[in-house]
């Protein structure tokens, strides 16, 4: 039993297309239905969260999408403005133009600034206790390490002064395994599993955030067991498509495709199992592994998110 929902800040990441947005939205929905004040934030403002929740745009200021559930998209410039206004108490009203221009200049010159403003905003929501849980639809494997490592990098760069004290509190939140964790999503395929294993290693060595769990998404159900497989083998090998076609009054090609589809289902499932086996071995005791089934329904948007949330609930 892993108490994912007892944490304050969860980063959902994984290879592109594995289901990060789907899982982040489902986790958020589940948390909100458990009575937690929940924020789901997409770090790359692609509009995927608004598609998942079937709501309008999800601005930086947040949009209420259900009871206890707010969705937002990251905007580093707005994050800087909020920081200057609320935290540093710099009166920026009316001087947004120059600040924005200066920001672009600084962000280009100082690597890590955009990342700090992203992570900073998320940690700020936790520190201010605006929400019980912040779920982040984070960047894909390639970029997430840089984001999570940014506060450490800046901290090491600036050993004294205001900046240091600004990153210290972030690091405190990020390092705390009771509060913060990464939810690493993958699928039962070769590349997503390889990237997941690689990322699990890099999280441990290069970032302050620990791995809370690994989720294998789009896992195929076992459509055929050994016994059913034997039935199909006998049908195909002992009786043959022509004999079956005659008995069924069907075209031999149709019978062949039914038998072929059954073989394919077995092969795909077996391949997937091999990849999952490798995932289990390589992740080892490092983190719990959860499974989410492949949804065959044509559902998308909120209906799909609800189904995934239900499966997650059964796994937690
Ligand atoms: N368990 C599932 N069963 C079937 N389809 C799924 C499942 N999970 C996700 N999908 C589908 O897979 C596609 C990719 O999912 P999603 O957008 O969540 O991935 P992502 O990792 O956020 O992608 P990106 O890297 O582009 O942001 C979507 O069409 C989604 O509906
Ligand atoms: Mg996405």
Domain membership of residue 23 (yes or no) is yes
pLDDT for the residue numbered 179 = 96
Share of the chain above pLDDT 90, in %: 58
Domain membership of residue 278 (yes or no) is no
Tokens of 85: 């206004």
pLDDT for the residue numbered 191 = 95
Nearest CA to ligand 1 atom 4: 295
pLDDT in tens, 20-33: 999 999 999 999 99
157-to-9, 150, 273 alpha-carbon distances in Å: 25, 10, 45
| 52 Cα: distance to centroid of ligand 1 (angstroms) | 10
pLDDT by residue for the chain (316 residues), tens digit each?
468 999 999 999 999 999 999 999 999 999 999 999 999 999 999 999 999 999 999 999 999 999 999 999 999 888 887 877 776 666 655 555 555 555 555 556 566 778 888 998 999 999 999 999 999 999 998 889 988 998 887 777 666 666 666 778 889 999 999 999 999 999 999 999 999 999 999 999 999 999 999 999 999 877 777 788 888 888 888 888 899 999 989 999 998 898 888 888 888 888 888 999 999 999 888 799 999 999 987 778 999 999 999 999 998 8
CA–CA distance, 153 with 263 (Å, rounded to integer)? 52
Domain membership of residue 232 (yes or no) is no
Q: Is the CB of 295 under 6 A from ligand 1?
A: yes
Q: Is the CB of 18 under 6 A from ligand 1?
A: yes
| Domain count along the chain | 1
Nearest CA to ligand 1 atom 8: 19
Domain membership of residue 235 (yes or no) is no
Ligand 1 atom with the shortest distance to the CA of 300: 31
Q: Regarding beta strands 63-66 and 133-137, do their DSSP bridges make them parallel or antiparallel, or are they unpaired?
A: unpaired
Domain membership of residue 209 (yes or no) is yes
Q: Which domain holds residue 67?
A: 4-222+284-315
Domain membership of residue 164 (yes or no) is yes
pLDDT for the residue numbered 116 = 85
| pTM score | 0.89
CA–CA distance, 26 with 292 (Å, rounded to integer)? 11
pLDDT for the residue numbered 266 = 83
Domain membership of residue 265 (yes or no) is no
Q: Which of 11, 21, 187 to mutate to test the pocket of ligand 1 (most atoms within 8 A of CB)?
A: 21
Ligand 1 atom with the shortest distance to the CA of 44: 27
Domain membership of residue 274 (yes or no) is no
CATH number, domain of 165, equals 3.40.50.300
Q: Is the CB of 220 under 6 A from ligand 1?
A: no
pLDDT for the residue numbered 19 = 96
pLDDT for the residue numbered 103 = 57
Q: Are 45 and 28 in contact (CB under 8 A)?
A: no
Nearest CA to ligand 1 atom 15: 19
pLDDT for the residue numbered 297 = 76
Sheet holding 38-42, edge to edge: 63-66, 69-73, 38-42, 133-137, 9-14, 180-186, 211-219, 289-293
């Amino acid at each position: 039993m892993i108490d994912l929902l007892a944490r304050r800040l969860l980063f959902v990441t994984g290879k592109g297309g594995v289901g990060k947005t789907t899982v982040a939205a489902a986790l958020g929905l589940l948390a909100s239905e458990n009575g937690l004040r929940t924020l789901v934030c997409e770090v790359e403002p692609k509009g995927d969260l608004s598609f998942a929740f079937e709501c309008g745009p999800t601005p930086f200021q947040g949009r209420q999408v259900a009871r206890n559930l707010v969705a937002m998209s990251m905007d580093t410039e707005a994050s800087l403005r909020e920081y200057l206004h609320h935290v540093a108490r710099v009166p920026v009203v009316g001087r947004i133009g120059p600040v924005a221009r200066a920001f672009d200049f600084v962000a280009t010159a100082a690597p890590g600034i955009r990342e700090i403003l992203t992570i900073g905003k998320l940690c700020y929501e936790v520190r201010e206790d605006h929400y019980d849980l912040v779920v982040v639809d984070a960047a894909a494997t390639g970029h997430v390490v840089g984001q999570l490592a940014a506060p450490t990098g800046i901290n090491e760069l600036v050993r004294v002064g205001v900046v240091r004290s600004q990153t210290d509190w972030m690091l405190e939140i990020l390092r705390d395994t009771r509060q913060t964790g990464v939810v690493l999503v993958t699928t039962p395929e070769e590349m997503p599993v390889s990237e997941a294993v690689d990322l699990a290693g890099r999280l441990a060595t290069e970032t302050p955030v620990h791995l809370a769990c690994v989720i294998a998404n789009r896992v195929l159900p076992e459509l055929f067991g050994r016994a059913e497989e034997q039935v199909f083998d006998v049908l195909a090998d002992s009786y043959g498509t022509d004999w079956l076609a005659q008995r069924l009054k069907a075209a031999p090609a149709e019978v062949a495709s039914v038998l072929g589809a059954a073989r394919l289902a077995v092969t795909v499932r077996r391949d997937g199992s091999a990849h999952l086996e490798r995932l289990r071995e390589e992740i080892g005791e490092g983190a719990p592994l959860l499974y989410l089934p492949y949804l065959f329904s044509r559902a998308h948007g909120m209906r799909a998110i609800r189904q995934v949330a239900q499966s997650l609930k059964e796994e937690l």
